[in-house]
Structure 1
Amino acid sequence: MKYDESICKFNMDTGCVELLLRDGRMISINCTGVEDTLDVTMAQRFELDYLIYNDPLAYAELILNGEPEKYLRNVAGSHGLED
């Protein structure tokens, strides 16, 4: 999938990361819904929140590629946090 990197943002009104595809379609990722389906610790939730607010494109790619658990294990391990 090709993304238009210039148009990826977190919409505070809806709680969604919105990503515009180059073909004009919009993907809206419900962040609360995603986090509720994952079995995450509070520290891991903070990591996801950091991405949502500071790098929504990285968050969107992480969710769309289907590897949030792997990312969270690696990030938590690098900070010395336990699962």
Structure 2
Amino acid sequence: MEKLLSCAFNMGTGRVELRYSDGSMISIHCTSVEDELANSRFQRPERDWLIYNDPLSYAELILNGDPKEYLQTVTEPLPFDFDG
């Protein structure tokens, strides 16, 4: 792979697509990735935000990072306040 030319979320295919100067491409099927991760109501908005607003960070997280650890770090369920 050469220099990264573009990285974008393709709404038509539901994939984050990375295109390189040598003509190669990486396509991340977001639905398949999401099916493998825990689907809590607290984590899904964080993943969706990354996909739509920062697809490069999403791609780097999926390809090089630990998405489960990341999601546990950035999201935590808030306890219900029954006294309020």
TM-score (norm 2): 0.81
Task: Compare 16-25 and 59-68 and name the one that shifted more.
Answer: 16-25
Higher helix proportion (structure 1 or 2): 1
Task: Compare 15-24 and 44-53 and name the one that shifted more.
Answer: 15-24
Residue 40 of structure 1 deviates from its aligned partner by: 2.5
1:56 alignment partner in structure 2:
55
Return the alpha-carbon distance in structure 1 between the equivalents of residues 51 and 65 of structure 2: 16
Question: 1:3, 1:19 within 8 Å by CA — same for their partners in 2?
Answer: no
Unaligned runs of 5+ residues in structure 2 are 79-84
Instruction: Calculate percent identity across the aligned residue pairs.
Output: 58
The structure that has the greater radius of gyration is 2
Secondary structure class of the residue paired with 2:75: helix
TM-score (norm 1): 0.82
Return the alpha-carbon distance in structure 2 between the equivalents of residues 2 and 40 of structure 1: 34
1:21 alignment partner in structure 2:
20
- Cα RMSD (Å) of the superposition? 1.8
Number of residue-to-residue matches in the alignment = 78
Matched, 1:7 2:6: yes
Unaligned runs of 5+ residues in structure 1 are none
Question: 1:16, 1:30 within 8 Å by CA — same for their partners in 2?
Answer: yes
Residue 23 of structure 1 deviates from its aligned partner by: 3.0
Residue 2 of structure 1 deviates from its aligned partner by: 6.0
